Structure 1
Amino acid sequence: MTGVRGRLLGLLGLTLVLGLIATGLANTAVESADDRSQRLAADAAVKGFEDKLAAFDTASSTRLTAAFKDDVDDYKRLLRVAKSAVRRAPAPPTRGTTPTGRRGSEKYRAAVQERATIVEPYVELAELLQDRAIPASRFIVSGRKVVTLDPAEVLDGQPIFTGDPLRDLVVPAFKKARTRLADAGVPDGAELLATDLQAYLDFVIKQTKAGADRIDEAKPFFFDFGTRPKDLLVRLTGLEAQVAREVALLTVGIASDA
């Protein structure tokens, strides 16, 4: 048994040694002259690319910072600047290179990675502006129009002898505000706020119709919305501040990294 065990251990040891030799041969494979030529061509293609990329980053971040300082709430302008940066970002040249050479060149692979690192924040900012900030801004504008809509301003001093002015002027004004709010869409995270705004509009419309009926019955009526408009306005302002912080963090981060 000892002899058999010894032979098995010997075979196992031989297998491990052969495997190590094979691995070593694979790792120390000599680069062919053709592969070397292709790799050197890829190396040469990205010579000076890092400086070109740095100049691009500095110029793009400067434009972005200027747009941000000029009007921090102009998200559409910021989006144009961010998209322009993504579109104009230089890429490592491929002319005079081959896929084999680019794969074999550490310098070329590093240039590709460096470009991705610099461009990615602009991509993230563009996505934030397009998918989050601009929709939220549209929703906030519509929401503010809802909570600041004043029946007295809608009536504009018109004498009230019957309930018709309320039905003909005030109710349609709030219904229009409700339609605008629905058309604005609901940004992520604002679903409850949107529901509460719609509920407020339904409440106002119902109160106005009931008030018109009271006036027709020669009964007194006064609009009373309580603190709901103010409370909703505070929540809208909070959403606006939150989105502004998200945009500012990315924008300032790009400027500081440039």
Structure 2
Amino acid sequence: MNERGRRWAVFGPVFVTLALAGVIGVMVVVQNHAQADRVAEADRAAEEFVGQVGALHSEVVEAINDSNADDPGDLVGVVDAAIADPPSLDDAPPDGIERSAAYAEATRLEQSFLTPYRDLRRELRRADVALEFIRACRDALTFQVTDHVGYGVLRDSRPVRERLIPALVRARGDFEDVRVPRGQDQLARDVVAALQHVIDEATRLAGRIDAGRSYFFSYAERFRTVAVAVDDYAIVVKGDVVEAINAVATAR
């Protein structure tokens, strides 16, 4: 073997090793760039989703403010319409997702961003039931005996037995058909008891008239006491709705 051949025999493996190292280095660089691209894709998906969630929030708040709806049941419809088509987080390459902190945060957001609106919806549903109950309470407590027997001295029990007492029984039955909100059983019992008090007194009045004896009863103070409790409950319900709406307005 001549001298040149011997040099190639010595340096050949070195050149091959260097060449392989160069190829591997290029492959590593290419792989790193590709991986960075996949992470960037996951980041973009996350950023787009977060933006959509922010836009939805603004739309819900604007819809509530523009609705001019005083009835909680109507507001439920407003909220439902506003969140009918919520955004979703787009897919991204698995290894990009794995290495993207933004995508991980967006995934957590996806699991919770509708919670404030659903909480508001539940509160509005509860308020809707509560307000129907409150209206029924107030209707019952505005019952007027004179609407059925007139004013002045009663010398005949028939108006009491044929008009007043049946009207009171109907009023009591109508109230008892109304759904009672959770935690308001005692208030419902107080309203029924107030009506029952008038029924009992009217029955006693009819008996005294038939016996030719005078009798007088008053129910205004009893009704007024229960009405104050109803008003207090209405204030609580309104406050709960305002608090729930404010919680949505300030949610982020």
Report the TM range for the smaller structure's normalisation. 0.7 to 0.9
Tell whether 2:116 aligns with 1:109. no
Tell whether 2:238 aligns with 1:244. yes
Percent of aligned pairs sharing the same letter: 24
Which deviates the most, 140-149 or 112-121? Answer: 112-121
Tell whether 2:40 aligns with 1:52. no
Q: Which residue in the other structure is 1:163 paired with?
A: 157
Distance 2:108 2:241 in 1: 25
* Shift in alpha-carbon separation, 1:220–1:52, aligned structure 2, 3 A: same
Alpha-carbon contact 1:39-1:102 (below 8 Å) kept: yes
Q: Which residue in the other structure is 2:120 paired with?
A: 125
* Shift in alpha-carbon separation, 1:217–1:110, aligned structure 2, 3 A: same
Q: Which residue in the other structure is 2:169 paired with?
A: 175
What's the offset of the Cα at 1:65?
A: 2.4
Tell whether 2:79 aligns with 1:82. yes
What's the offset of the Cα at 1:36?
A: 8.1
Distance 1:90 1:113 in 2: 14
Q: How many residues align?
A: 222
Distance 1:198 1:189 in 2: 16
Computed over aligned residues only, the root mean square deviation of the Cα atoms, in angstroms, reads: 3.0
Aligned residue identity for 1:189: G
Which secondary structure state, in structure 2, belongs to the residue aligned with residue 234 of structure 1? helix
User: Among 196, 205, 208, which residue is 1:211 paired with?
Assistant: 205
What's the offset of the Cα at 1:159?
A: 8.7
Q: In structure 1, list runs of 5 or more residues that go unmatched.
A: 1-30
Distance 1:41 1:144 in 2: 60
Alpha-carbon contact 2:69-2:75 (below 8 Å) kept: no
Distance 1:109 1:165 in 2: 76
Q: Per-residue displacement from partner, 1:36-94 (whole Å, max 9, x unpaired)? A: 88766544433422222211111111111233xx354x111111122233433212134
Aligned residue identity for 1:91: S
* Shift in alpha-carbon separation, 1:221–1:114, aligned structure 2, 3 A: same
Distance 2:95 2:211 in 1: 89
Distance 1:45 1:245 in 2: 39
Which is greater in Rg?
2
Which secondary structure state, in structure 1, belongs to the residue aligned with residue 90 of structure 2? coil
User: Among 189, 212, 223, which residue is 1:195 paired with?
Assistant: 189
What's the offset of the Cα at 1:218?
A: 2.3
Name the TM-score, length of structure 2 as normaliser: 0.75
What's the offset of the Cα at 1:98?
A: 6.8
Alpha-carbon contact 1:142-1:177 (below 8 Å) kept: no
Q: Per-residue displacement from partner, 1:175-197 (whole Å, max 9, x unpaired)? A: 12212222112212212111111
Tell whether 2:128 aligns with 1:134. yes
Alpha-carbon contact 1:171-1:208 (below 8 Å) kept: yes
Alpha-carbon contact 1:137-1:240 (below 8 Å) kept: yes
Name the TM-score, length of structure 1 as normaliser: 0.74
* Shift in alpha-carbon separation, 1:44–1:141, aligned structure 2, 3 A: same
What's the offset of the Cα at 1:219?
A: 2.1
* Shift in alpha-carbon separation, 1:241–1:103, aligned structure 2, 3 A: farther
Distance 1:164 1:237 in 2: 35
Tell whether 2:148 aligns with 1:151. no
Q: In structure 2, list runs of 5 or more residues that go unmatched.
A: 1-30
Alpha-carbon contact 2:120-2:248 (below 8 Å) kept: no
Aligned residue identity for 1:76: G
Aligned residue identity for 1:188: R
